[in-house]
Amino acid sequence: MRPDVRVGLRPVLSNAWIQQTPLVSKFKMGNKKASYLSRRGTATRASMQPSDSGSSEAPIAPLQMESPIGQFLSQILASHPHLVPAAVEQQLEQLQTDREAEREGRAICVGIGN
């Protein structure tokens, strides 16, 4: 088992383990074998402890959505992230329908004005 493997919001690997472990990648290309070795691997990670946010339910983004659709999508992202693609697709379809109806309304008004 790797050192400092943790569960939850804590990092899976410690910085010390990442810095001490070389990155090795080997693969075969036809009959030739190619390997790449980096003596010192680098990694970037971000983490946040529940105590950092002041509450267990920290906002996803550092801003508040102003439109009702933005608020709806933000709420879906926080509560049901697996539903975000379907919710976005539904909102885009509704936006397209609304714009088409608006264009038809303008065309009718222009037609009546002539």
Coil, strand or helix at 40: coil
User: What is the rounded CA–CA span in Å between residue 70 and residue 87?
Assistant: 11
Q: Is residue 59 part of a domain?
A: no
Q: Is residue 12 part of a domain?
A: yes
**Predicted local distance difference test score (pLDDT) of residue 13:** 46
The range of the structural domain enclosing residue 77 comes to 64-114
69 or 114, which is more confident: 69
User: What is the rounded CA–CA span in Å between residue 27 and residue 64?
Assistant: 47
Dump strand ranges (E) for 6-111.
23-29, 32-38
Task: Provide the domain count of the chain.
Answer: 2
**Predicted local distance difference test score (pLDDT) of residue 45:** 61
pTM, rounded to two decimals: 0.41
| Domain co-membership, 69 together with 111 | yes
| Domain co-membership, 73 together with 42 | no
User: What is the rounded CA–CA span in Å between residue 26 and residue 33?
Assistant: 8
Tens digit of each residue's pLDDT (9 = 90 or more) over 38-75: 455 555 566 656 555 555 555 555 567 788 888 899 89
Q: Is residue 55 part of a domain?
A: no
**Predicted local distance difference test score (pLDDT) of residue 54:** 55
User: What is the rounded CA–CA span in Å between residue 10 and residue 85?
Assistant: 28
